Amino acid sequence: MRRVVRSVRYIQLAVQHQKHNYSSSSAKLQEHLRSANSDYRLTRNAEIHRFLHLQPACITSRALSTDAAPVTDGDLNRGGPLVEYERRISVGELVEGDDFQVGTLRELQRLYDELVEFADTCQLDRYAASKKASRSRWLWSRFMPQSSCSPIKGLYLYGGVGTGKTMLMDLFYDQLSCNWRKRRIHFHDFMLNVHTRLRKHKGVADPLEVVAGEISDESVLLCLDEFMVTDVADALILNRLFKHLFNNGVILVATSNRAPDNLYEGGLQRDLFLPFIATLKERCVVHEIGSSVDYRKMTSAEEGFYFVGKDKSSLLKEKFQHLIGEETASPQEVEVVMGRTLQVPLGANGCAYFPFEELCDRPLGAADYFGLFKKFHTLAVEGVPIFGLHNRTAAYRFVTLVDVMYESKARLLCTAEGSPQELFRWVVTISDAQHMAPRTSSRSRRSDDSNLCVDNELGFAKDRTISRLTEMNSKEFLEHHASMLGEKKLSQDGINANVLQA
């Protein structure tokens, strides 16, 4: 009975906030944005920000200009991503920027302000939230169906590669209260977690509802980075999964390279996926970051371990040996998911060595790659080929590998048949293919590019992969990685010293 009363009170409170307070919140937000528009003077010539002086950082970004209006004490007390962005400028951590990123920050600030205002209504505080198990919630919902969509709309950010989507979402996430039920996770990792939970609840009438209940019990605010749907299994469950999540009050913040209407474009059984797009647009504000500049490519590239040429195998092995130091590399085994293991040909001192075929010509996926980088911080890959029609599946796996490696902040050593741009020169979207010169009767079929791979998803993903490979090969990224390893070693040495003293 108390549960019923609590549910009714929750719904009444949400409706009350929607009808009476949301309009005043919007008015205050509009006033805030008008003020921000007048206070902030933006520079026209955007430059890459100089990396954080007080702490190492490898993700490039853009910020407000240094002559922007100072942050007031009232703003600092209020907090939020826009205020933190300006604070970093005032202390010299970030310089220069463009209005595209500032516009995104205002959307994030809007969401932050609403989350603070409706924190109690949305039950964000983990210590004040119900501890009831999701199975019990699912059983109870059979008798008392509950639909309690949050009064707050989430945010779906999309734009080109290197525009700072991930950095901005992380900036927003870091400003949120540590007591809140929140989670920030890569989309690949999130879907792996969903499939694992579904197998755990196999046999339940509606396992998706149980899984959604578990996720929403743990996290009211869900931040998903790199929202990208390429798998038909994911596409078929997303609509029902997120309907349950939204009905449970979950608020979504997502980043993607693609607009909602372009998700899973050309995919199998896409008609079953389309309702998810409608649901996504209903529950999230869709915002485009319209910059055409890829700031990852403005790092000090060609300072790292990306070697072009088939004759560079001995150089790669020499660099690998240097990194493992006095340890001896040997075959190892990595546990991934559901008791599966991944065989590592050579590994030592946090470094793993693979021929390309062992990683991308075998039926491996994101789960295997995430498992690999939980144990190893550095990956050496020998023989990355030029991608085309003949090895399209391997190209998909390589894209996923780079995504997981970038998310895991791992270091890459590799030999390749060409630069990052050259690796994907035969991969094009349908639109790109239509702009190419058509075949004519005067041209023989032999002269056509028989290796041309026309693939929308891969053609769209290649820009992100090229951008990330470029940044991972930069001096800044590698210096940050070395600094991160140094901090881990000092921490481990301190733990070992305490154990010896005990």
Can you give the pLDDT at residue 57?
36
Length of the chain: 502
The one-letter amino acid code at 107 reads E
Can you give the pLDDT at residue 385?
96
- Per-residue pLDDT averaged across 113-125, rounded? 93
CB 198 within 8 A of CB 208: yes
Same domain, 250 and 317: no
The one-letter amino acid code at 129 reads A
Whole-angstrom Cα distance, residue 6 to residue 137?
Answer: 13
Whole-angstrom Cα distance, residue 339 to residue 181?
Answer: 29
Instruction: Tell me, yes or no, whether 319 lies in a domain.
Output: yes
Share of the chain above pLDDT 90, in %: 46
Whole-angstrom Cα distance, residue 500 to residue 502?
Answer: 5
Same domain, 267 and 385: no
* Weakest mean pLDDT among 206-220, 289-303, 408-422, 455-469: 289-303
Instruction: Tell me, yes or no, whether 412 lies in a domain.
Output: yes
Instruction: Tell me, yes or no, whether 82 lies in a domain.
Output: no
Query: 453: which 2 tokens?
Result: 């791979």
Residues 446/452/453/459 CA torsion (nearest 10 deg):
-160
88, HSE (Cβ side, Cα atoms, 13 Å): 22
Of 289, 316, 334, the position where a domain reaches its end is 289
* Cβ neighbours for 101, distance < 8 A, ≥ 6 positions apart: 61, 62, 63, 163, 164, 168, 289, 291
Can you give the pLDDT at residue 449?
62
Can you give the pLDDT at residue 160?
79
Can you give the pLDDT at residue 129?
56
279, HSE (Cβ side, Cα atoms, 13 Å): 19
The DSSP 8-state label assigned to residue 195 in this structure reads H
**Residue predicted with more confidence, 470 or 66:** 470
pLDDT band at 113 (very low <50, low <70, confident <90, very high): very high
Domain count, the chain: 2
Instruction: Tell me, yes or no, whether 16 lies in a domain.
Output: no
Same domain, 240 and 319: no
CB 297 within 8 A of CB 464: no
Instruction: Tell me, yes or no, whether 187 lies in a domain.
Output: yes
Can you give the pLDDT at residue 49?
37
Residue with tokens 């002559």: 67
Can you give the pLDDT at residue 8?
46
Same domain, 278 and 316: no
* Cβ neighbours for 205, distance < 8 A, ≥ 6 positions apart: none
Query: 268: which 2 tokens?
Result: 């199998």
Question: Per DSSP, which regions of 187-229 are E strands?
Answer: 221-225
- Per-residue pLDDT averaged across 4-18, rounded? 46
- Per-residue pLDDT averaged across 56-83, rounded? 48
Can you give the pLDDT at residue 216?
94
Of 379, 371, 441, which is closest to residue 410 (Cα–Cα)? 379
What's the CA angle centered on 287, arms 286 and 289, to 5 degrees? 150
Can you give the pLDDT at residue 482?
83
- Per-residue pLDDT averaged across 312-322, rounded? 92
Phi/psi of residue 383, each to 5°? Answer: 85, 45
Instruction: Tell me, yes or no, whether 31 lies in a domain.
Output: no
Of 233, 260, 289, the position where a domain reaches its end is 289
Phi-psi region of 129 (alpha: psi -120 to 50; beta: other; left: phi over 0): beta
Can you give the pLDDT at residue 46?
34
Provide the 3-class DSSP secondary structure of residue 206.
coil
**Which domain does 398 fall in, by range?**
301-436+448-492
* Weakest mean pLDDT among 95-109, 221-235, 268-282, 391-405: 95-109
DSSP string, 418-472: S-HHHHTTTEE-HHHHHTSPPP-TTS-GGGS-TT-EE-HHHHHHHHHHHHHHHHH
Same domain, 313 and 267: no
pLDDT band at 268 (very low <50, low <70, confident <90, very high): confident
pLDDT band at 450 (very low <50, low <70, confident <90, very high): confident
Same domain, 318 and 277: no
269 burial via Cβ count (<10 Å: 0-12, 13-18, 19+): exposed
Can you give the pLDDT at residue 17?
45
pLDDT band at 211 (very low <50, low <70, confident <90, very high): very high
pTM to 2 decimals? 0.61
Instruction: Tell me, yes or no, whether 276 lies in a domain.
Output: yes
Helix or strand holding residue 76 (H, E): helix 73-78
Whole-angstrom Cα distance, residue 381 to residue 268?
Answer: 32
Is 50 exceeded by the pLDDT of residue 70? no
Can you give the pLDDT at residue 127?
78
- Per-residue pLDDT averaged across 210-223, rounded? 95
Is 60 exceeded by the pLDDT of residue 419? yes
Whole-angstrom Cα distance, residue 124 to residue 68?
Answer: 33
Same domain, 274 and 332: no
Of 289, 311, 335, the position where a domain reaches its end is 289
pLDDT digits 0-9 by tens, 60-69: 333 333 333 3
Is 60 exceeded by the pLDDT of residue 27? no
Is 50 exceeded by the pLDDT of residue 245? yes
pLDDT digits 0-9 by tens, 323-354: 999 899 999 999 887 778 999 999 999 999 99
Show the DSSP H helices in 296-437 as ranges: 313-324, 356-360, 366-375, 392-407, 420-423, 430-434
The DSSP 8-state label assigned to residue 73 in this structure reads H
Beta bridge partners of 182: 221
Same domain, 241 and 314: no
Same domain, 276 and 377: no
Whole-angstrom Cα distance, residue 196 to residue 36?
Answer: 45
- Per-residue pLDDT averaged across 9-13, rounded? 47
- Per-residue pLDDT averaged across 273-289, rounded? 95
Residue with tokens 């039920």: 181
Same domain, 264 and 313: no
Same domain, 265 and 306: no
Beta bridge partners of 183: 222
Domain of 208: which CATH number?
A: 3.40.50.300
Instruction: Tell me, yes or no, whether 41 lies in a domain.
Output: no
Whole-angstrom Cα distance, residue 336 to residue 195?
Answer: 14
Query: 126: which 2 tokens?
Result: 């983990």
Can you give the pLDDT at residue 35?
45
pLDDT band at 496 (very low <50, low <70, confident <90, very high): low
* Weakest mean pLDDT among 143-147, 303-307, 481-485: 143-147
Mean pLDDT of the chain: 78
Same domain, 391 and 370: yes
pLDDT digits 0-9 by tens, 30-63: 444 444 443 433 332 333 333 333 333 333 333 3
Can you give the pLDDT at residue 393?
95
Query: 37: which 2 tokens?
Result: 């528009």
